[in-house]
Structure 1
């Protein structure tokens, strides 16, 4: 019997330590060691002295910010003392609207030093002021904050924040030039000679941050987290937890999101150095930073790798000092792992799975991550120290056996127990622990290795089979020509299959390229995965892919645009030349639209099996019947070899099977009633057909419908019936036990007798 899909991380053997206390200890031990480098910020920023570059590094590059632990600590203390002079209040929220820059790190440490609540929000969120207003208001109300401080990365951000409805007494600081009521970061740094009572301030008891989820389908959700609990569990599990003096970590993900925050703060707690490669990611900036700063580690997501790959191929860069890569935010494929090694030359790679809610799973650093693979998905590893995972049935809380795909659930000290600004059924209690339903599809193998395969809500159900969009996207991304199109797969409606894969691309690719993409998918994944259409952003009326401020694709929004576009498209009117030409044009139009290939490019003599699977054949049959009024029995249809043969077969139809008058068929109604040959599972049995028709008419008459309204009939035979009918087993009965609470034995007995009598009475009447 298979084990259940559940696993635990290593035990936590000690108590978590304060972030500020650990930083202060490192400042005392290594005051002159490099703490943070920002190649995009000046070396003399705020009058602070930067450490020199090594002599072996290309000196032609302009000097940039390189602060020691001591300089960073002194700056944090100056800002902290200035805020205390203004009047520090413990329930203050510190909203940081910055990119990857030294001020983000400074204000994080200032907040923790003062016991304030650190709330980082990317400046890009301000493109939707209404959303940011709700984010700020909801957090202020939830935490009952009496005061707020705002930090803006530049004047433009400050002006946008001025449009929000916030308290007039809040303190506002801008990193660049600004006007009243904002004050400059420079002015805070000018503060000196603090009074003695401010110099004796100890460490605050609380170190809290609020991070927002990506909000791909709704408003961003606020998560109140204790970072030291995160780092306590992560330190024993991640590559970052084993860093030491002399290691440099290149950080590209945004600091205002969980992954970027972890990759920025954890090295500083280990005495290592961080290199913020730019205010935001750029391939050129990252390559320069990795080379000039001699980075030993780097944190990336998949889209960044694609940019770096192209950059290195074009300009032949090398990163000889890079030893380890930490990846997050994707379903890893073996091909991606190999490309990491080829492009960046790292000896170890770590696959890190995380969510803002405090869900963390990781492989740790592995020399050959591609050896642990399940169905072309690289392992996500095991839960971090103190964490637990379960792979549960969809919509339930019971773990499935190993090897079965389900939905990932997580529990551990790092997990929040609720959102600040909304209720969610995804949090629940079990066995005395708080659990969270991630919404990600996962499978666990017999060795308790976890594999995350995609989002449950993104699944495309095509003809009863589940298609994972990321599988299609990953195969297309392996070719640079396809990758440049930024292909994203969503579900499209289909009258037969239910849903089919549709690919949205940034610009028109040309039919040759589209055919290459179809061939790539067909050869690697099978006919069912072949996209039914490639739709450009321009066709959808979009200038760019809909994204959250965090940069994630909003699949639901994209799907909505695709649905509206496809519904607006109708079959082109067909000029009536002669009956056969009209029929030929109709069949070509149907297949062209289903396959996404121009009619002129269709090879009507090629075997249909090379173009479509059985589900697509059903779709074609239904659409051709609606378009032309002609239909052949399904059993015959599935045996027709080519599109040309379909045309000939349809042309040869007579009588009821051939209706030239198309009036009304575009309304989606059958041009004639279903006959015995149309319901394939009846095997052309006239008696079975008449019985089926009688039962259906009996049930639909009350709804004002008749047999003429029926489009199709198909069986929903369940698993047990199939086994019994085929004599694999003779019978299979299910017994159900119902656990009742707060009921006496007498009450239970009385209820059981009532139920049995009711069943017996019903059977007698039947």
Structure 2
């Protein structure tokens, strides 16, 4: 069994800051900001004291609604030091979703930026709690969101009714080291320390309760699989509010004394500039991010020769994209990770020494300390290698449960502690897994089970196709038909007939898309997951398939 780390999230940073005090910890080239691990830990301690001064106690839920600003990472460790639970709010949320999360999570404090893309966060929050503008900072009283008392603004001007983040750090000077140490001593590695809301690709988002033990070890083993050391430098364009950012990036880095170099809001040009300028050795991203970087008109101008590894994950990795990342971005040791928020999030990962074939055709094998099995969907029996069933996982990384949702928790974690992922997979005799689809995403056409991934992988091989999503739409005769939404490469044209012709004779007729739509983008969750149910809903309307 792999040796697990025994630190809390706050304790991990203390340990690494003592071990690599002068290493770069957090670098924002555009802001001219560069903290060593010693400086970063000191700042986190200062803010932790400020949180205590604000009246935040161990076990209190504190929410953050922001893109990848430096304060996000500071708060992640500062809150952890005093045992406060960080509730991560999706950057794409609007009023109804914000109100739902603030209420469901019982958050007492909200940390927020001014805006993100086209959403004015201040206006959005004021719509949810109109009393905010006239209330004294820290004394909010609102019947709709009764738990929320304090709003802390990250940025220069401070809107009415809010405190400023800089002021909270300043308040920390009124708290002694001894007071902080006394609180830190009460924080246990098995306490919930983060609550991440599942992206809600189905139904209402659920608050996934994750402990220090879950997160520290998942981050550590994921870093180990990339062979991270204190010499590595990771470019982070994936959002912090999602496990990809906070665990696969931040904790994988911090557990190894690796430098974190975030990109605040994803922009392919900024990613390329950051990698070159900071001599990054690793970069993370969902496939759509890698596609945007590889297809950027100025791609060839950048020196990316320092790159070695990273993670392509978040949705299924197209083989062609992975091959180009290896060849054109020097990512010879890039890995892919499979998991979900409920497993902190990593369950399986490819290894740096795996062949390109394994890295493009599988999501790797179980992470150290994790158990994986494939079970029969009908009867739950464990299946032998090569048989398709539901992937189940067990180990240190399985969540405590869904916040205030015991029935929902019992649906996914069985009495033996196995997490049922809802994903279909096949495992080979060496333990390498292929994800073949979601149990709910499978298309059933005239009794034939169709797995969208198989058709997607095939269509990726067409030279004009940049990205493709396959999903089922209702059909009176067959039950369901296959539909493709295709993003073309820049400057090319293609017809529906061309797509069908390309498939003929190469894949079974029943798998050839009956409907083809050319699109400029896909509806996504802010963490980069494509929402196929929305594509399906749009198609039903456009094709008049309501009946």
Shorter-chain TM range is 0.7 to 0.9
Shift of 1:107: 0.5
2:497 to 489, 493, 515: 515
Change (3 A) 1:490 1:387: same
Higher RCO by CA contacts (8 Å cutoff, separation 6 or greater): 2
Q: Secondary structure of the equivalent of 2:424?
A: strand
Matched, 1:531 2:513: yes
Kept after mapping to 2: 8 A contact 1:473/1:488: yes
Aligned to 1:501: 482
Instruction: State how far apart, in whole Å, the 2-side matches of 1:551 and 1:16 are.
Output: 32
Kept after mapping to 2: 8 A contact 1:153/1:175: yes
Instruction: State how far apart, in whole Å, the 1-side matches of 2:125 and 2:509 are.
Output: 51
For 1:571-650, list aligned pairs within 5 A: none
Q: Secondary structure of the equivalent of 1:416?
A: coil
Aligned to 1:289: 274
Matched, 1:30 2:30: no
Shift of 1:306: 0.6
1:173-192 Cα distance to aligned partner (Å, 9 max, x none): 11122222112223234447
Aligned to 1:188: 168
**Aligned length, in residue pairs:** 517
Shift of 1:399: 1.5
Shifted more, 211-220 versus 190-199: the winner is: 190-199
For 1:670-749, list aligned pairs within 5 A: none
Q: Secondary structure of the equivalent of 1:451?
A: strand
Kept after mapping to 2: 8 A contact 1:391/1:443: yes
Kept after mapping to 1: 8 A contact 2:237/2:271: yes
Aligned to 1:166: 145
Aligned to 2:209: 224
Shift of 1:355: 0.5
1:83-103 Cα distance to aligned partner (Å, 9 max, x none): 222323223211011111211
Instruction: State how far apart, in whole Å, the 1-side matches of 2:182 and 2:147 are.
Output: 28
2:306 to 277, 296, 321: 321
Instruction: State how far apart, in whole Å, the 1-side matches of 2:503 and 2:336 are.
Output: 25
* Greater helix share, structure number: 1
Structure 2: stretches of 5+ with no match in the other structure: 129-143
For 1:76-91, list aligned pairs within 5 A: 76-91=44-59
Aligned to 1:681: none
Shift of 1:118: 0.8
Matched, 1:118 2:108: no
Instruction: State how far apart, in whole Å, the 1-side matches of 2:169 and 2:451 are.
Output: 52
Structure 1: stretches of 5+ with no match in the other structure: 1-10, 43-63, 141-146, 538-542, 571-766
Kept after mapping to 1: 8 A contact 2:389/2:424: yes
Shift of 1:26: 2.5
Shift of 1:323: 1.1
Kept after mapping to 1: 8 A contact 2:365/2:431: yes
Kept after mapping to 1: 8 A contact 2:374/2:425: yes
Q: TM-score, normalised by structure 1?
A: 0.63
Matched, 1:175 2:145: no
Instruction: State how far apart, in whole Å, the 1-side matches of 2:244 and 2:265 are.
Output: 14
Aligned to 2:114: 154
Bigger-Rg structure (1/2): 1
Change (3 A) 1:139 1:326: same
Aligned to 1:654: none
Instruction: State how far apart, in whole Å, the 2-side matches of 1:70 and 1:480 are.
Output: 49
Aligned to 1:106: 74
Instruction: State how far apart, in whole Å, the 2-side matches of 1:294 and 1:122 are.
Output: 30
Instruction: State how far apart, in whole Å, the 2-side matches of 1:18 and 1:210 are.
Output: 15
Matched, 1:415 2:398: yes
Shift of 1:365: 2.8
Kept after mapping to 1: 8 A contact 2:273/2:302: no
Aligned to 2:473: 492
Change (3 A) 1:21 1:91: closer
Change (3 A) 1:480 1:187: farther
Kept after mapping to 2: 8 A contact 1:462/1:500: yes
Change (3 A) 1:554 1:468: same
1:177-229 Cα distance to aligned partner (Å, 9 max, x none): 22221122232344474354546545241451000111112111110001333
Kept after mapping to 2: 8 A contact 1:325/1:348: yes
Instruction: State how far apart, in whole Å, the 1-side matches of 2:182 and 2:201 are.
Output: 42
1:380 to 345, 363, 375: 363
Change (3 A) 1:426 1:519: farther
Aligned to 1:559: 536
Kept after mapping to 1: 8 A contact 2:234/2:260: yes
For 1:391-410, list aligned pairs within 5 A: 391-410=374-393
Change (3 A) 1:477 1:101: farther
2:237 to 230, 246, 252: 252
Q: TM-score, normalised by structure 2?
A: 0.86
Instruction: State how far apart, in whole Å, the 1-side matches of 2:187 and 2:423 are.
Output: 35
Aligned to 2:339: 354
Matched, 1:307 2:292: yes
Instruction: State how far apart, in whole Å, the 1-side matches of 2:369 and 2:267 are.
Output: 36
Instruction: State how far apart, in whole Å, the 2-side matches of 1:122 and 1:39 are.
Output: 25
